[in-house]
């Protein structure tokens, strides 16, 4: 092992080949080993949610900087619009007897320099709901973008849809005849939304 006094540089992205260090020497394990270990379970709710954020960031060309998990919203456009990305799936990582895919969307308090805000608010301007629709466990692949459906709503539209509730189901969206869009149309439809 090569001896190094390497310090972690603050860069937008870590290179996949970046080695862990043990007693000042590069180990055989890289950050890619960690990513594989931590994020291979794409059907897990938390990981699927991060994947959905990435898919939306990719579609909107906002994937050039790493995500900021503690912001009051998930993404921000170059023109300043704040985006909240919500994810749901028919197939779960655990056995579900009666799947009822839904999106939990509710006002939240946010962190400021002196602590939490006093009032909970809807903190995004635009809400993107991402639904992994494949129902067959033997065919589901979260990396197949043809298996995803998306809905885009303004803050006013999402508040109106929720009608004071903290969630909305995929069935409710479909019953309201709200057309879902495919990945290829996400950017065009998003930038038409006011």
Q: CATH number for the domain including 89?
A: 3.40.1350
pLDDT recorded at residue 7 = 47
* Overall number of domains in the chain: 2
Query: For 32-52, what is each residue's pLDDT tens digit?
Result: 999 999 999 999 999 999 999
Query: For 69-102, what is each residue's pLDDT tens digit?
Result: 878 899 999 999 999 999 999 998 877 778 899 9
Of 89, 184, 186, nearest to 132 (Cα)?
A: 89
User: How far, in whole angstroms, is CA 75 from its chain's centroid?
Assistant: 9
Q: Are residues 13 and 71 in the same domain?
A: no
Structural domain includes residue 3: no
Structural domain includes residue 1: no
Average pLDDT of span 105-124: 86
Q: Are residues 73 and 24 in the same domain?
A: no
Q: Are residues 161 and 118 in the same domain?
A: yes
Distances (CA, A) of 92 to 43, 63, 137, 154, 169: 6, 26, 9, 28, 15
Structural domain includes residue 157: yes
Q: Are residues 32 and 45 in the same domain?
A: no
Which residue segment(s) compose the domain that 13 sits in? 8-40
Structural domain includes residue 52: yes
Q: Are residues 30 and 115 in the same domain?
A: no
Q: CA-CA distance, 74 to 81, in Å (whole number)?
A: 11
Q: Are residues 111 and 171 in the same domain?
A: yes
Does the pLDDT at position 5 exceed 60?
no
Q: Are residues 131 and 55 in the same domain?
A: yes
- First CA to last CA distance, the chain: 55
Q: Are residues 33 and 55 in the same domain?
A: no
Residue 160: both structure tokens together: 């109106």
Average pLDDT of span 115-129: 91
pLDDT category of residue 6 using cuts at 50, 70 and 90 = low
Does the pLDDT at position 103 exceed 50?
yes
Average pLDDT of span 114-141: 92
pLDDT recorded at residue 1 = 42
Q: CA-CA distance, 92 to 99, in Å (whole number)?
A: 8
Of 90, 48, 52, 89, nearest to 74 (Cα)?
A: 52
* Between 47 and 2, the higher pLDDT residue: 47
- pTM for the predicted model, two decimal places: 0.88
pLDDT recorded at residue 117 = 83
> How many other CB atoms are there within 10 angstroms of residue 142's CB atom?
20
Q: Are residues 97 and 22 in the same domain?
A: no
121: DSSP letter:
B
Q: Are residues 117 and 29 in the same domain?
A: no
Q: Are residues 162 and 87 in the same domain?
A: yes
Q: Are residues 59 and 108 in the same domain?
A: yes
pLDDT recorded at residue 11 = 56
pLDDT recorded at residue 120 = 87
Structural domain includes residue 86: yes
């Amino acid at each position: 092992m090569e001896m190094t006094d390497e310090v972690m540089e603050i860069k937008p992205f870590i290179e996949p080949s970046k080695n862990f260090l043990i007693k000042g020497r590069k180990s055989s394990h890289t950050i890619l080993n960690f990513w594989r270990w931590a994020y291979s379970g794409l059907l897990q709710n938390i990981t699927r949610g991060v994947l959905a954020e990435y898919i939306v960031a990719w579609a909107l060309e906002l994937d050039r900087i790493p995500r900021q998990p503690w912001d009051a919203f998930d993404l921000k456009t170059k023109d300043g619009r704040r985006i909240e990305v919500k994810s749901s799936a028919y197939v779960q990582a655990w056995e579900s007897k009666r799947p009822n895919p839904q999106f939990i969307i509710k006002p939240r308090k946010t962190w400021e320099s002196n602590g939490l805000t006093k009032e909970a608010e809807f903190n995004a301007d635009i809400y993107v709901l991402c639904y992994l629709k494949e129902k067959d466990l033997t065919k589901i692949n979260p990396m197949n973008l043809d298996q995803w459906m998306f809905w885009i709503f303004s803050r006013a539209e999402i508040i109106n849809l929720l009608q004071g509730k903290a969630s909305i189901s995929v069935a409710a969206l479909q019953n309201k005849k709200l057309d879902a869009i495919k990945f290829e149309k996400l950017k065009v439809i998003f930038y038409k939304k006011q």
